[in-house]
């Protein structure tokens, strides 16, 4: 793969709006991605393996629970810092960002927000250092966009719960030490349970042959009569709102992450267009290529402003689920379009692993599907503005 020459576009001087700490956190993540992710990621994506050696580095740059308080091993940063870290990681690869999103927003966040003090103390510090990795089990073979219909269930056996069911499409599942699993109790109410690797009846087969997020491990969670200790139930929130609360946090991170992937594609295409000569000129001098590049930077800039404002709202606790949906949907679609156009600018070179664009393009097909599909987010906005839910 070509050396990483990335220069981040900042057309509207968004950096001027960032604090000293934001810049420090962002630049550390940026430098780390250049040093430790870019040189190896293509190889891992090609061989469809998760690069486990970068877990320590992810923890060092604060990618695991940046907004979790310091007392539990987090960094106590604000939401904009979290977003910037996700942006930089996804600039490297959406699969690596997925691992960080899951650990932070889907594993650490529910334990922090819905867990007991004992659970927080037991799990969060080890998750923050990457000593333990987690995964999040909501989606099932028969229930994707409609998780409320889930079939995974548990029974109160007096001194423990008995868990049965299966989850599909679970990021990090093949190597995770713990899983935050959403299941229904006997009354049909959804609760979160922490299931640990090694519990009898719990297995995590890997899903193979993905054309997308190849550097991220995806798999199933299978529970057949798993005895879960009672102290592993997350007691402080139940109902579908509990997992959806985690998704709000992860989707917010994705809204920033997608900008990173788009920036990388744009920057690569811009550099290529200025260097590649055809008909005696750099292809950047042709109007058709300029149109593509000019539209890309316009869309990236709009997405940056959307994410930044959403970050401000999130910092003061005012970002709504519908606002987060809008940003996730807009920014991921933006990134996919940028990736597709950028790939064309590189001509034949665009399909090779020498450049990151095709990898980003394929990764983004997962990103536009998980954490609520593109359609579902549109319906969330639709319901929010009209008052009529159209997805049931």
Partner 1 sequence: MKILVCISNVPDTTSKINFTEGDTKFDTNGVQFVINPNDEFGLTRAMWFKEKQGATVHVATVGGAQTEPTIRKALAIGADEAIRINAEPTDGFFVARQLAEVAKNGGYDLIIAGRESIDYNGGMVPGIIATLLDMNFVNTCVSLEIEGTDAKAVREIDGGNETIATSLPLVIGGQKGLVEESDLRIPNMRGIMMARKKALHVVEATDAPTMTADVKFEKPAAKGPVKLVDAGNIDELISLLHNEAKAI
Would you name the residues annotated as active-site residues?
371
Query: Buried (b) or exposed (e) across 210-243, using 16+ Cβ within 10 A?
Result: bebbbbbbbbbbbbeebebeeebbbeebbeeebb
Q: For the purposes of burial, counting CB atoms within 10 Å of the CB of 134, is it exposed (0-12), middle (13-18) or buried (19 or more)?
A: buried
Is residue 366 part of the contact set for ligand FAD (CB under 6 A)? yes
Site string for partner 1, 42-71 (x = CB under 8 A): -----------------xxxx---x---x-
- Residue 31 found at the interface with partner 1 (CB under 8 A): yes
By beta-carbon proximity to ligand FAD, the closer residue of 11 and 211 is 211
- Asked if 206 is part of the footprint of ligand FAD (rule: CB under 6 A), the reply reads no
- The entry of ligand FAD, partner 1, none that residue 35 binds, CB within 5 to 8 Å by partner kind: partner 1
**Which of 132/169 has CB closer to ligand FAD?**
169
Least distance (Å) from partner 1 to the CB of residue 392?
A: 42
Told to check if 281 binds partner 1 by CB under 8 A, we report no
Contact 108, 134 (CB under 8 A): yes
Query: Is the dihedral angle over the CA atoms 248, 250, 251, 256 positive or is it negative?
Result: positive
> Interface with ligand FAD includes 391 (CB under 6 A)?
yes
Distance CA 296, CA 307 (A): 16
Q: Which of 129, 185, 203, 369 binds ligand FAD (CB under 6 A)?
A: 369
Per DSSP, helices labelled H in the chain are: 20-32, 38-46, 55-60, 79-92, 94-101, 109-114, 117-129, 241-275, 287-315, 321-345, 357-367, 374-386
Contact flag: residue 50 with ligand FAD (CB under 6 A): no
Q: Which two tokens stand for residue 24?
A: 């420090």
Q: Is 20 in the site for partner 1 (CB under 8 A)?
A: yes
Q: Which is nearer to ligand FAD, 98 or 356 (CB)?
A: 98
| List of residues contacting partner 1 (CB under 8 A) | 7, 10, 13, 15, 20-21, 23-25, 27-28, 31-32, 35, 59-62, 66, 70, 75-76
Contact residues for ligand FAD, defined by CB under 6 A: 102, 135-139, 144-145, 169-171, 213, 218, 366, 369-371, 373, 375-376, 379, 391
């Amino acid at each position: 793969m070509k050396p990483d020459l990335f220069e981040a576009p900042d057309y509207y001087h968004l950096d001027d709006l960032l604090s000293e700490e934001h810049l420090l956190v962002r630049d550390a993540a940026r430098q780390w991605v250049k040093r430790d992710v870019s040189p190896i990621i293509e190889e891992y994506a090609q061989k469809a393996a998760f690069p486990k050696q970068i877990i320590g580095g992810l923890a060092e740059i604060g990618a695991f629970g940046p907004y979790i308080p310091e007392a539990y091993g987090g960094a106590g940063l604000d939401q904009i810092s979290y977003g910037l870290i996700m942006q930089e990681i996804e600039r490297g690869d959406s699969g690596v960002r997925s691992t960080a999103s899951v650990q932070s927003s889907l594993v650490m966040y529910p334990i922090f927000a819905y867990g007991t003090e004992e659970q927080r103390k037991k799990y969060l510090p080890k998750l923050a250092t990457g000593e333990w990795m987690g995964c999040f089990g909501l989606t099932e073979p028969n229930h994707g966009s409609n998780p409320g219909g889930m079939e995974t269930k548990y029974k109160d056996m007096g001194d423990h719960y008995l868990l049965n069911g299966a989850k599909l499409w679970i990021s990090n599942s093949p190597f995770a030490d713990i899983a935050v699993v959403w299941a229904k109790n006997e009354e049909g109410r959804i609760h979160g349970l922490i299931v640990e690797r090694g519990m009898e009846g719990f297995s995590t087969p890997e899903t193979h042959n993905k054309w997308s997020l190849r550097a991220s491990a995806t798999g199933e969670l299978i529970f057949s009569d798993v005895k879960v200790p009672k102290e592993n139930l997350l007691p402080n929130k139940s109902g579908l709102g509990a997992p959806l609360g985690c998704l709000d946090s992860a989707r917010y991170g994705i809204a920033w992450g997608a900008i990173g992937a788009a920036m990388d594609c744009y920057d690569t295409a811009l550099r290529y267009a200025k260097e590649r000569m055809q008909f005696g000129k750099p292809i950047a001098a042709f109007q058709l290529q300029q149109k593509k590049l000019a539209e890309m930077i316009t869309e990236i800039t709009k997405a940056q402003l959307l994410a930044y404002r959403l970050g401000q709202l999130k910092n003061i606790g005012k970002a709504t689920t519908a606002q987060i949906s809008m940003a996730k949907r807009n920014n991921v679609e933006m990134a996919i379009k940028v990736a597709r156009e950028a790939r064309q600018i590189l001509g034949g070179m665009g399909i090779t692993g020498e450049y990151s664009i095709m990898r980003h393009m394929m990764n983004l097909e997962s990103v536009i599907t998980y954490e609520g599909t593109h359609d579902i987010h549109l319906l969330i906005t639709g319901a929010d503005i009209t008052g009529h839910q159209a997805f049931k």
